[in-house]
Amino acid sequence: MIVIVLSIIGVIVGWRTATKRKGDLMDKLQYGAAYFLAFAVAGVIITVIVDRFI
């Protein structure tokens, strides 16, 4: 669940970052995908840490 939520947040953050930098559609998609992957990896790490301690 944490991975899904963070992945969606990653896409939103990436899209907004590209928009602030005046990027076109392809820039927004690329930033969205990159942030999606970064936030998904962070979500997996957080999930493993939480699972280990609980």
Which pLDDT score is estimated for 21? 97
Express each pLDDT in 11-45 by its tens digit: 999 999 999 999 999 999 999 999 999 999 999 99
Cα-based torsion angle of the residue sequence 34, 15, 27, 31 in order, rounded to the nearest 10 degrees:
-10
pLDDT band at 54, cuts 50/70/90? confident
What's the domain range around 34? 2-53
DSSP class of residue 44?
H
The residues, ordered by sequence, that sit 6+ positions from 6 with a Cβ below 8 Å of its Cβ are 39, 40, 42, 43, 46
Structural domains in the chain (count) = 1
